[in-house]
Amino acid sequence: MKVVLVGAGAREHAIAEHLARGASLYSIMDKPHPGILPLSTDSLICDPTDRERVSSWCAENGIELGFVSPDALLEKGVTDILASAGVKVASPLRESARIEWDKNYARNLLLRHKIPGLPGFLLVNDAEEASAFISRMGDVVVKPVGLTGGKGVRIMGEHLNSPEEALAYISELIEKDGHALLEEKLEGEEFTLQAFCDGTRISAMPPVQDHKRAFVGDTGPNTGGMGSYSTGPLLPFMEPGDLEAAKSIMQLTVDAMRSEGNPFRGVLYGQFMLTRGGPKVIEFNARFGDPEAMNALMLLRTPLHEIFQSIPEGNLMGAAFSTDCTVVKYLVPEGYPSAGKKGMKVDVDRQALLKCGGKAYFASVYGEGGAVLTTSSRAVAVASRDASLGHAEEKAECSIRAISGNLWHRPDIGTAALVRKRVEHMGRLR
């Protein structure tokens, strides 16, 4: 089986590692990724939206199956390019990835189909409407409608200190995009539920909790995600009914898309806020989460290429997972997130990493003259698993010491103290 993976970050490095175990891996990426390149039978280094080059390279190599991973490439229709070159695809076409790149479409899909978990929301294109919504709702969250790499959302009481500041940001978005999405501010604990989907059925992965804030104690600006943990079939602050409710929302969403003639095939990512009233939908993504992909893939027991193969066939293979705990932590360059230092060397001591029992996945780095160098984004993810969360977290910290460079991370992710805070928070809300 010849499978092509499009995309090159830590998430894709983990996907590549799985695929290469059971299939011949081919990869398409804009620059050579030091982790994916050696796992690949062959790689095409080019702009993945270059239809001509991508199509002819897939044909020449007899590629059978394709998976496009990053949101930006799904929005640009790279899955559609593969499909029109005769490759079977396990990622969504541009129109079904709309669930991610058009937040207003996602909100209205839930509304049309009366799917539970929808927070109050309003798409606005003038400041007066926005002001009326804020007066009615109190604190709101302001979002651009399109993709923002997790960085465009601003929350009243956190990033926006008054209705005036909120209105100023709303006006900025209206000027830029023509509109802004306002939402009721939800209170609770966030979790991610990822599921394989074949257009009809879903096969859910274990829930994961990500940490978007840059600094220790969940402070500072939102980032692409600083790290994540999972604790088997449920997170410590969840009850079985919460997971069932979230799965049902995902299934109903897949049903709704199919009934509208836009079936979702690929990995659906539900980001939920577990509130006093149960899980509410923060957003859907049309792909694996980054870092959450690494948590789930460390536990996956079913060959990934076989699951991918079953998606375009509409005959979804159920995925089996270990019940272990996992911890993923990102190492980021000095100055991240506002001004990550570029071009700095990163060294991974493979022996030391092995001793720690952890793994390292390269993110936004590149190879040059035998060295691995940083960009301004997240550099390396370390990932570990163990029957206990405490041991998984220790393995992750040990793995971090095996990596040298001008890098920092959040030492609190996955620790008992932070998890206890989450459980207490949820306890107060319920």
Footprint of ligand AMP (CB under 6 A)? 119, 141, 150, 153, 155, 183-186, 190, 212, 222, 271, 282-283
152 binds ligand GLY (CB under 6 A): no
Size of the site for ligand GLY (CB under 6 A): 7
242 binds ligand GLY (CB under 6 A): no
Binding partner at 285 among ligand AMP, ligand GLY, none, C-beta below 5 to 8 Å by kind: ligand GLY
Contact segment (CB under 6 A) with ligand GLY among 126-134, 241-249, 285-293, 404-412 equals 285-293
Contact segment (CB under 6 A) with ligand GLY among 31-39, 167-175, 287-295, 356-364 equals 287-295
Binding partner at 307 among ligand AMP, ligand GLY, none, C-beta below 5 to 8 Å by kind: none
Nearest to 11 by CA among 308, 298, 410, 221: 298
100 binds ligand GLY (CB under 6 A): no
Binding partner at 141 among ligand AMP, ligand GLY, none, C-beta below 5 to 8 Å by kind: ligand AMP
How does DSSP assign 156-178, residue by residue? BTTTB-SHHHHHHHHHHHHHHHS
Binding partner at 17 among ligand AMP, ligand GLY, none, C-beta below 5 to 8 Å by kind: none
The residues, ordered by sequence, that sit 6+ positions from 33 with a Cβ below 8 Å of its Cβ are 8, 9, 12, 13, 27, 362, 366, 367
210 binds ligand GLY (CB under 6 A): yes
285 binds ligand GLY (CB under 6 A): yes
- By C-beta, is 150 or 390 nearer to ligand GLY? 150
Token pair, residue 426, equals: 């949820």
Angle at 113 between CA 110 and CA 118, to 5 degrees: 30
289 binds ligand GLY (CB under 6 A): yes
Distance separating alpha carbons of residues 153 and 265, to the nearest angstrom: 27
Shortest Cβ distance from residue 210 to ligand GLY (Å)? 4
Token pair, residue 202, equals: 């879903």
Binding partner at 129 among ligand GLY, ligand AMP, none, C-beta below 5 to 8 Å by kind: none
Other CB atoms closer than 10 Å to residue 52's CB: what's the count?
9
My answer on whether omega of the bond before 206 falls inside 30° of 0, hence cis, is no
Other CB atoms closer than 10 Å to residue 175's CB: what's the count?
9
Angle at 126 between CA 123 and CA 131, to 5 degrees: 85
Residue type for 153, please? V
- By C-beta, is 195 or 372 nearer to ligand AMP? 195
- By C-beta, is 153 or 413 nearer to ligand AMP? 153
Binding partner at 283 among ligand AMP, ligand GLY, none, C-beta below 5 to 8 Å by kind: ligand AMP
The residues, ordered by sequence, that sit 6+ positions from 382 with a Cβ below 8 Å of its Cβ are 328, 329, 331, 358, 359, 360, 361, 396, 399, 400, 403
- By C-beta, is 283 or 349 nearer to ligand AMP? 283
Pairing mode, strands 213-215 and 180-184: unpaired
397 binds ligand GLY (CB under 6 A): no
Shortest Cβ distance from residue 292 to ligand GLY (Å)? 6
Shortest Cβ distance from residue 373 to ligand AMP (Å)? 28
Query: Hey, is 392 helix, strand or coil?
Result: helix
Q: Left, alpha or beta for 114 (phi > 0: left; psi -120 to 50: alpha)? A: left
Residues near ligand GLY, by CB under 6 A: 150, 210, 225, 285, 289-290, 292
